[in-house]
Amino acid sequence: MKVFNDLADFSNDEIQALLELSNRLDAYPEPQALRGKVLSLLFLSPSLRTLASFQAAMTRLGGGSFVISPDMSIHGLETRPGIVMDGAAAEHIREAVPVIASYGDAIGIRAFAERKNLEKDMAEQEFAALTGLIDTPYINMESAMNHPCQNLADWKTMDDLDIPSNGGKFVLSWAYHPKALPLAVPASTLYTAARRGMDVTVLRPEGFELPEPLMQKASEAAAANGGSVTESDDRSEAMEGAHVIYAKSWSSTRHYGDRLKDQELRNELVDWCVDEPWFDNARDDCRFMHCLPVRRGVVVSEPVLDGPRSVVIPEARNRMLAQMAVLHQMLGGTS
């Protein structure tokens, strides 16, 4: 494997192989598998889980890693193309990225969407500009529309809980958040649940519809794997018989790039906080998933987050295990 960028790039057999490898590495650790290997980690956007879980994954496999982010004591990173660098930043990503990549055997890159132009973000122009600077194997640690490490961990989490693929009902729900957040998690989570063959409902208020190309991509993946994709703004209807609710806030697609109009719209939606009454129509054992970080009492109530439905902690631990499998394959792990 040279690139881990999008689950859509992998066959069902390849995804299953990664999931099986992650389970094997959990049960039977391989502390020498990546001895002498180095992973470069470039964070152009903030992180807790991705930062810590990649470092832990490399250490558990016997390799090493280093982290670079703009918040560190570096020279100030310029990202704009064609700029005359007479401002604060003394280093351009055109040099920084290949230099960082050259120190490792693979590189992980995180760069959130600019969130000014939906078409540009959907085309992944920024991430492609970064990966175009390197020829080392790379891992997408979250870009404008993708978060494949989260997706693989979420798939494993549902497998671990025996949540059915075919016949399993997955509700991807928008939730209130005071800020307009990127589309990477909802877009790639929608695809993942559809690809797993689940019956997926996107529950969202008007103005927060996911873009049609993403719905189409997910519908095709669902159809090919025995599932389906629908959308609704009716909470009770959407939650009927649900095995999982996966909550996430995202930017208004109606007002993408217009923070003020987005804010006006979301200010009316503070009741989109997942709470126990949401589960009235769901299965008794319906689970609550979220990629974290999550705002308590805003996105989800404390009783749900701290209660038996919530699987957010094992879901976050699975990030490390899923990434161990990716790194093992990418860096030629030996048992």
- Kindly list the residues in this chain that would bind ligand CP in the complex (CB under 6 A): 47-50, 142, 150, 291-293
Cβ-based nearer residue to ligand CP, 30 or 142: 142
Check: CB of residue 109 under 8 Å from CB of residue 127. Answer: yes
CB of 7 to ligand CP, least distance (A): 15
Strands 287-289 and 228-232: unpaired
CB of 116 to ligand CP, least distance (A): 21
Q: Which residue has the tokens 């019956």?
A: 199
Cβ-based nearer residue to ligand CP, 123 or 292: 292
Check: CB of residue 229 under 8 Å from CB of residue 222. Answer: yes
Cβ-based nearer residue to ligand CP, 87 or 293: 293
CB of 246 to ligand CP, least distance (A): 12
| Cα–Cα distance for residue pair 117/304, rounded to 1 Å | 35
Residue 15 CA, chain-centre distance (Å), reads: 16
CB of 81 to ligand CP, least distance (A): 26
Strand order in the sheet with 228-232: 228-232, 199-203, 169-174, 244-248, 287-289
CB of 291 to ligand CP, least distance (A): 4
| Cα–Cα distance for residue pair 332/315, rounded to 1 Å | 26
Cβ-based nearer residue to ligand CP, 184 or 203: 184
Cβ-based nearer residue to ligand CP, 19 or 291: 291
> Residue 318, CB half-sphere, CA atoms under 13 Å: how many?
27
| Cα–Cα distance for residue pair 91/95, rounded to 1 Å | 7
